[in-house]
Amino acid sequence: MAPDELRSLAETWLADDPDPATRDELTRLIAGLPGTAAELRDRFAGPLTFGTAGLRGRLRAGPNGMNLAVVTRAAAGLVTWLAAQGGRGPLVIGYDARHGSREFAEQTARVATGAGREAIVMPSLQPTPVLAYAVRALDAVAGVMVTASHNPPQDNGYKVYLGRELGGPAGDGAQIVPPADAGIEAAIRAVGSITEIPLGPAGTLVDDKTIEGYARSAAAVLTAGGPRDLAVAYTPLHGVGGATLLAAFEAAGFPAPVVVPEQAEPDPEFPTVAFPNPEEPGAMDLLLALAAATGADLAIANDPDADRCAVAIPTGDGGWRALRGDELGALLGDHLIRRGVPGTYATTIVSSQLLGRLCVARGVPYAETLTGFKWIVRAADELAYGYEEALGYCVAPGMVRDKDGVTAALTVAELAAGLKAEGRTLADRLDELATEFGVHATDQLSVRVDDLAEIGAAMTRARQAPPATLLGAAASVTDDVANNVLTFRTASARAVIRPSGTEPKLKAYLEVVETVTGGDLTAGRARAAEGLVTLRREIAETLGV
């Protein structure tokens, strides 16, 4: 795109931008042409689209960023689409503590009321699961949550949920899927000048009864009267989950968790972590130090919008170990099966195969889906449980049809307290599962890129020269071109490769399965760990990273 064409595009956008801050930003870039051409090309490379978890991008001016102009267009397109579908009822809107979140939420409400649609806005910063709960509790036609979840501080995002009328039984309170996402995007593209979009009042506030109802409903997910003696260390990771989780733990009868003080309050800069994601190295260091200092039984972290849950357990030698998402996924699934929770148990094609094998052995329905909770929660109308390896768990789909880090935290606390009452631990239960089903060791090769073209190049290399063997055994290849997923598999190893739908990353999900012979778990785990190291190297070579 030539500098003159870039200038014309940018000036057209500038004339329509309602935010003085992004107008100033764009004005400086226009004035800097031709030296700023590369930056402007990136900002006008195309509009943000609904990925794995809605719109998400950097806070910056232009159509390829999160800003007031993009949000105004998104809201206008959404309410137009809802009206075209004949959807009735209010639009409920939530927001987290990220830069711009409250402003984006309020603008969404004004666009909705300007179009004649009732808008109900959260009265304060709230976790994503509370918004998903409110869509159902308030019988809303749809919901919007302004959050970028666990992304870096410079990002924000826009998740859209549908109510029962347009989402159907399995999609009631769930994030949008095709063809709704394409229909909404088409409606967004059809929006004319922002200056012509009518803006109404800021809507009404979600009442305290609904907010309190979430905590009560979360506590009711557990078996009444069960053991509650458990010491928990907790961090909301500078996010908005703290007050909600503490209220839910109190309602469930657990002792109050001790909270990491440096991370207790919402802070959009996330000053104590490199990335506000419990999966990232170092993100849980303060939590584990607090857990060790206070003699906790369990350490729990939420990501900033509290839809994910991370858990760490003591190792017995004074140290702590964070459970992998697949380990917690299997523990929670096994626990709910033992409790007799009926329905289908689901996970994704990139998660461990352990849950599927457990379900076969226990005689309960099982399903696998594409990556993303919008697919997991639609695995069955009667869904009992769903999880993804990236620390997302849905333990109460009748309450929240999405991943929910608060109810997941309560459920793992219930499991840990029950085991503690028997003189056992989560580690003991993991040993039992490994002995019965084999050691399912998982890891992830994650490559963050600055240029998205690098992801496409790596996928091309893997398709053109797939590995003939993995860990010395012949490997088969499955190429799901439509969803851009490559799977390499042997009898005891698997690698699933796909671009991230929420971040500029290429991800390879690795799994090695080792049978436990003679009850020797230590040897089985050692073989699996060694296999993962080799598998990681082989896949990295295949991708050329």
pLDDT in tens, 10-42: 999 999 999 999 999 999 999 999 999 999 999
Q: For residues 223 and 325, what is the distance between their CA atoms, to the nearest angstrom?
A: 24
3-state secondary structure 217-248: HHHCCCCCCCCCCCCEEEECCCCCCHHHHHHH
- Of 421, 395, 419, 407, nearest to 336 by C-alpha is 395
CATH number of 438-543: 3.30.310
> Is the pLDDT at 474 greater than 70, yes or no?
yes
What are the φ/ψ torsions at residue 156 (nearest 5 degrees)? -150, 175
CATH 3.40.30.10 fits 226-434, yes or no: no
Burial 146-164 (b: 16+ CB within 10 A, else e): bbbbbbebbbbbbbbbbbb
Percentage of the chain with pLDDT > 90?
92
Extents of the domains making up the chain: 1-45, 48-206, 226-434, 438-543
**What pLDDT does residue 5 have?**
87
CATH number of 48-206: 3.40.120.10
Mean pLDDT, the chain, as a whole number? 95
Complete edge-to-edge strand list for the sheet that includes strand 505-514: 439-448, 505-514, 493-499, 485-489, 476-480
pTM, two decimal places: 0.94
Q: For residues 324 and 335, what is the distance between their CA atoms, to the nearest angstrom?
A: 17
pLDDT band at 333 (very low <50, low <70, confident <90, very high): very high
What value does the mean pLDDT take over residues 468-488? 94
Tokens 């094609």 correspond to: 349
Task: Please state, in angstroms and as integers, the Cα–Cα distance from residue 346 to each residue in 94, 114, 201, 407, 408, following that order.
Answer: 27, 40, 42, 17, 15
> Is the pLDDT at 267 greater than 90, yes or no?
yes
Same fold, 48-206 and 438-543: no
Active site (catalytic) residues = 149
pLDDT band at 52 (very low <50, low <70, confident <90, very high): low
**What pLDDT does residue 53 have?**
66
What value does the mean pLDDT take over residues 67-94? 97
What value does the mean pLDDT take over residues 265-284? 96
What value does the mean pLDDT take over residues 319-330? 97
> 112 with 203: CB under 8 angstroms?
yes
pLDDT band at 295 (very low <50, low <70, confident <90, very high): very high
> Is the pLDDT at 428 greater than 80, yes or no?
yes
β-bridge partners, 447 = 506
> 81 with 195: CB under 8 angstroms?
no
